[in-house]
Structure 1
């Protein structure tokens, strides 16, 4: 391994150059409506790790700064993506991928408490209140049916834009037969009818459909990530009482957001601010991934070295002053944006947490 001088550099470029002194003032100016809600979410198919905990902590740090410096009415809205596939419940039949969601399998509750523990503590540290919801929050929005109808009317062109690999609009509805719940993950076999019906195919029970004119049926719809993101952006744009800030990891910045969101908006000036948080990277420069942790045991080297707290939120919360140290670190990023618009290695972050007062973790199995 190459040795280095342990000197940290923050070379300026792009956003870090132009917002190095004025980020908070700029973000506050974009929030012209009375209330400010910071949206953050996660697919709760495993315990939170240091990567998504860092995103959540940065969201609370931004909220605290807006609340303190500009006396804004701020709260955090944490949305569980319960429409995400439940681990081990994706199957391929005749080349079509089907899934059963976390909601369908009732597995949302397994990891929800770990997220709530993190949210509770960050709310205490920041002084910013929060509330949680599932995807039903967006479907219950009065504007949701009209937004969906407008998107479905363009399903051919939007399918090619939002799902470049399949060319199909990734709308799905779980099979309504009791005990089934299978859904065509990418909407490959969907049929769109002129009478505002969408037909879906279950490989076991055949065709079922919903009407876009029936609100109780529209509430059953689920979407892939780009389409879900576009729907959120459109709904938040129509909210006349609340300025929304969407907090997400910086892997969703750049080409992804430019091609799958901004180029599709008719009125981008009304869209919410998207606030990107640094990624936490492993030794190779890849972002920390829950998929590798859950499915492939890709971080066995961390566990073997006694660093499971970086992967398991519950273990991290048992680390003395660990979350407090992380919150101090991300507050520094928000205060000094040249530290915000970049990514950080696990090794660097751990060094910073120790420097900011993190002590030993207390779980016996890790000692």
Structure 2
């Protein structure tokens, strides 16, 4: 982490603090001796050049004093005019009318595309032609999806959810609420009922336990959270509590699923077979640093549970290379444990396949392929906007396009992903889970009143009995973003959200 700090050996002394304070006092005294500003002219108060100069001097002196107050770890004062701008442009311009109707039409289009593809398959069997006919112009007008809708969010439960994670969760439940209200409104005069909506939290319990990771012969190994229950249990309850609160406020049901559930889905043999068959290309594409597909499995020997983190030593076989294979989606992955040797997962064995783990890019691709194959349910994902742009283009959309071209699956359909506003610090860097940042990185938030944002546990600990009310004010703030959709397409600083709560007469994040 790069800090803007006073060089070592030049930390302010008590004399420096006294000097800075005196300079500020002198500047304030000069300002008080200045003549009063001229009466307003057309609603504008005019100031003399000397008054303006003194004000600048005072602001500079305030900055010097603030920096001098904490010589052991200086802080820095910055100023703003309190103006909040939500400029139109890009998504903010395109979706001024809201996200809900475009999403509804996209879901309806998916159902129509799937129906057309099924019809095309029938025509091919009967007539030998698989031509897709153009969709009628009124295909999407006044229509609603008919299949259940699942709004997905995800998190690694290796920390208590911080402000950025809470915003993503609030976004997902508001999306579900607004979507449900819209569909009930449209179908109120119709005998048809809108489909069920559910928010699903996908907990990545295969994230590494950092203190148990090790390197052997230049290869990195990890133990996953799910294999260390005592550590996993430290934070999981926070996620259930947060989801329960949001579910009650939105009147939308929720469920929690783990990685074993993902890899137990009926589409997984087909999905993993594709990754195994194309592991060489996908490895380089999804992992530029290691050039290997990020699949792993914990050693099955009790009390070991080591897995090779980046999949560099994995060996792959798929049905064409397996003499005894009779299943078109059968494949094998041989993993390496540095203590107990090789162990294997077969994609046709559901118990074995549920042991599979994947790094973030591979998991993102696997999950998206599975959702696209699951044509009986609509899947919509909400994630932070730090995953938008190049990340998705390189690690998701290009591999999906290649998969669809090679297999003919999911033609004309792509995942539905919405990006929640990113929460950033003063420098524009996203608020990061404390697990991944330097110790003490957010100490200044204790002094400045925002330390409750660092985690849900911290919010509850600092303000027992009032934390739910504070959280609900964040929930109401996100509601305002949906009321003015342009606010969904920007970032928000910690300082801004702290002011939002303080304007409501709330200081409970301090």
TM range (shorter): over 0.9
Which runs of structure 2 are paired with 1:72-87 in the superposition (5 Å)? 72=194, 73-87=196-210
Checking the alignment, whether the CA contact within 8 Å between 1:278 and 1:341 is kept in structure 2 is yes
For 1:105 and 1:161, locate their aligned partners in 2 and report how far apart those are by CA, in whole Å.
Answer: 31
Give the aligned partner of residue 211 of structure 2.
88
Checking the alignment, whether the CA contact within 8 Å between 2:434 and 2:454 is kept in structure 1 is no
Checking the alignment, whether the CA contact within 8 Å between 2:219 and 2:308 is kept in structure 1 is yes
Give the aligned partner of residue 15 of structure 1.
91
For 2:446 and 2:210, locate their aligned partners in 1 and report how far apart those are by CA, in whole Å.
Answer: 21
1:63 to 157, 160, 176: 176
Query: 1:35/1:153 Cα in 2 relative to 1: closer, same or farther (>3 Å)?
Result: same
- Tell me the SS of whatever aligns to 1:354: helix
Query: 1:204/1:336 Cα in 2 relative to 1: closer, same or farther (>3 Å)?
Result: same
Query: 1:127/1:83 Cα in 2 relative to 1: closer, same or farther (>3 Å)?
Result: same
1:271 to 405, 408, 414: 414
Give the aligned partner of residue 215 of structure 1.
350
Q: Deviations over 1:43-64 (max 9, x none)?
A: 0001111110111111111111
Say whether residues 1:43 and 2:156 are aligned partners. Answer: yes
TM-score normalised by length of structure 2: 0.68
Give the aligned partner of residue 322 of structure 1.
470
Checking the alignment, whether the CA contact within 8 Å between 1:319 and 1:358 is kept in structure 2 is no
For 2:236 and 2:311, locate their aligned partners in 1 and report how far apart those are by CA, in whole Å.
Answer: 28
Unaligned ranges ≥5, structure 1: none
RMSD: 1.8
For 1:91 and 1:123, locate their aligned partners in 2 and report how far apart those are by CA, in whole Å.
Answer: 40
Say whether residues 1:229 and 2:364 are aligned partners. Answer: yes
Checking the alignment, whether the CA contact within 8 Å between 2:158 and 2:225 is kept in structure 1 is yes
Larger displacement relative to structure 2 (247-256 or 9-18): 9-18
How many pairs are equivalent?
362
Which runs of structure 2 are paired with 1:151-300 in the superposition (5 Å)? 151-193=275-317, 194-195=321-322, 196-265=331-400, 266=404, 267=410, 269-291=412-434, 296-300=439-443
Query: 1:304/1:95 Cα in 2 relative to 1: closer, same or farther (>3 Å)?
Result: farther
1:122 to 246, 270, 283: 246
Say whether residues 1:5 and 2:81 are aligned partners. Answer: yes
- Tell me the SS of whatever aligns to 2:508: coil
Query: 1:216/1:288 Cα in 2 relative to 1: closer, same or farther (>3 Å)?
Result: same
- Tell me the SS of whatever aligns to 1:188: coil
Checking the alignment, whether the CA contact within 8 Å between 1:328 and 1:356 is kept in structure 2 is no
Query: 1:351/1:83 Cα in 2 relative to 1: closer, same or farther (>3 Å)?
Result: same
Say whether residues 1:301 and 2:437 are aligned partners. Answer: no
For 1:347 and 1:307, locate their aligned partners in 2 and report how far apart those are by CA, in whole Å.
Answer: 8
Deviation at 1:198, TM superposition (A): 1.6
For 1:68 and 1:342, locate their aligned partners in 2 and report how far apart those are by CA, in whole Å.
Answer: 25
Give the aligned partner of residue 349 of structure 1.
497
Give the aligned partner of residue 261 of structure 2.
137
Checking the alignment, whether the CA contact within 8 Å between 1:161 and 1:260 is kept in structure 2 is yes
Query: 1:358/1:237 Cα in 2 relative to 1: closer, same or farther (>3 Å)?
Result: farther
Checking the alignment, whether the CA contact within 8 Å between 1:39 and 1:244 is kept in structure 2 is yes
For 1:354 and 1:38, locate their aligned partners in 2 and report how far apart those are by CA, in whole Å.
Answer: 31
For 1:241 and 1:355, locate their aligned partners in 2 and report how far apart those are by CA, in whole Å.
Answer: 46
For 2:438 and 2:411, locate their aligned partners in 1 and report how far apart those are by CA, in whole Å.
Answer: 38
Query: 1:297/1:87 Cα in 2 relative to 1: closer, same or farther (>3 Å)?
Result: farther
TM-score normalised by length of structure 1: 0.94
Say whether residues 1:27 and 2:103 are aligned partners. Answer: yes
Checking the alignment, whether the CA contact within 8 Å between 1:200 and 1:209 is kept in structure 2 is yes
For 1:36 and 1:320, locate their aligned partners in 2 and report how far apart those are by CA, in whole Å.
Answer: 28
- Tell me the SS of whatever aligns to 1:208: strand
Deviation at 1:293, TM superposition (A): 6.5
Larger displacement relative to structure 2 (348-357 or 247-256): 348-357
**Greater C-alpha radius of gyration:** 2
Checking the alignment, whether the CA contact within 8 Å between 1:172 and 1:223 is kept in structure 2 is yes
